[in-house]
Amino acid sequence: MENNPSPLISRGNDATEHANPVSAPLPGSDAYDDIPQFPKHCVLPFRRTIRRQELRQIVPLAETTIYEMERRGEFPRRFNLTPRCVVWDLAEVEAWIEQRKQTRRGSVSKPDVHLRKTRPVRAGSSEG
């Protein structure tokens, strides 16, 4: 009986738990709003920083796009906490998102149809 583990100890589940990490809730979901580290209405006594994984959940852009926008000064700059730990200031990222929302709402520009080289044809729109 010494070789058989106790039924209270589950050895098989430990590997499964480590192999499948828990993913964070998506922005806009109810679970995301309940996360305590993202306070909406109270001012924190410190500045919250986020790492790349959290940034990618908040801003769904490719890393190269974010990098290019940082270089052009169009996105909040990252900084190093340690030589191997790169973070962004959450307040700056949230302010950038709000600025983008306001910019998009204020000036909705549509493509100029006169600059098209071809005219797309919808399926079923041709008569004949």
pLDDT tens by residue, 9-54: 445 454 444 555 567 777 777 777 776 665 556 665 678 999 999 9
pTM over 0.95: no
Angle at 79 between CA 75 and CA 82, to 5 degrees: 160
CB 23 within 8 A of CB 31: no
Q: If you ran DSSP here, which 8-state letter would residue 45 be given?
A: S
Task: Pick the more confident residue, 127 or 91.
Answer: 91
Taking only Cα atoms into account, the Rg of the chain, rounded to an integer number of angstroms, comes to 24
Task: Pick the more confident residue, 127 or 114.
Answer: 114
pLDDT tens by residue, 72-124: 999 999 999 999 999 999 999 999 999 998 886 666 667 777 888 887 777 76
